[in-house]
Amino acid sequence: MTESPEKVRSNAFILGYQNGGQVQHDVIHYLNQRKQYEVHRLESLSDSDLPTTLVWGEDGTIAPIKVSDYVWTNYLKVRTAKSNYWIIPNANHYVQNDRPEIVSKLIRQSLGEEVDFPGISEEEKPYSRLS
């Protein structure tokens, strides 16, 4: 199938914009490495004695909630080290950009500080998946 000249020009522009061809190459390289080492990294995390907090955006489309549920259930929940799992409503993959005020409180809480979420409705508050 032959692409229209307009589509070819559009694709060339996208790949040429801010070194888009290299970015595409880097993403493919990252995905290949992730596939190759993912299980090893998760098993290492599971075996680690470092406290771990998993924070996930409820509306993530890049990595949906089933991904974090899988990591929690199979690698973090079973650890002897302290682990927490928080889901933030109305937040996407870049949860630290979508809800920085909540992420910062969850980090402080993970470090032992008592935190509250004043001014945040019940629907907006993070919820835990510890069971």
- Write out pLDDT tens, residues 40-98: 999 999 999 999 999 999 998 889 999 999 999 999 999 999 999 999 999 999 999 99
Question: Rounded to an integer, what distance in angstroms lies between the CA atom of residue 130 and that of residue 77?
Answer: 7
Decide: residue 56, CB within 10 A, 0-12 exposed, 13-18 middle, 19+ buried: buried
Q: What is the pLDDT of residues 24-44, one digit of tens each?
A: 888 888 889 989 999 999 999
pLDDT at 131 (0 to 100): 58
Output phi, psi for 56, to 5 deg. Answer: -135, 140
The structure tokens listed for 104 are 């910062």
Q: What CA–CA distance (Å, rounded) separates 82 from 96?
A: 22
| Terminal C-alpha separation, the chain | 52
Q: What is the pLDDT of residue 20?
A: 73
- Can you give the pLDDT at residue 52? 94
Q: What is the DSSP letter of 19?
A: G
**Per-residue model confidence (pLDDT) at position 7:** 84
Q: For 109-127, what is each residue's pLDDT tens digit?
A: 999 999 999 989 999 999 9
Q: Which CATH number fits domain 50-131: 1.10.1660, 3.40.250, 3.40.50, 3.30.700?
A: 3.40.50
* Better pLDDT: 97 or 13: 97
Q: What interhelical angle do 20-47 and 5-16 show, nearest 10?
A: 60
Give pLDDT, residue 23. 78
Can you give the pTM of this predicted structure?
0.77
Listed by start position, the domains of the chain span: 1-47, 50-131
Counting every residue, how long is the chain?
131
Q: Which residues have a Cβ under 8 Å from the Cβ of 15 and sit 6 or more positions away?
A: 21, 24
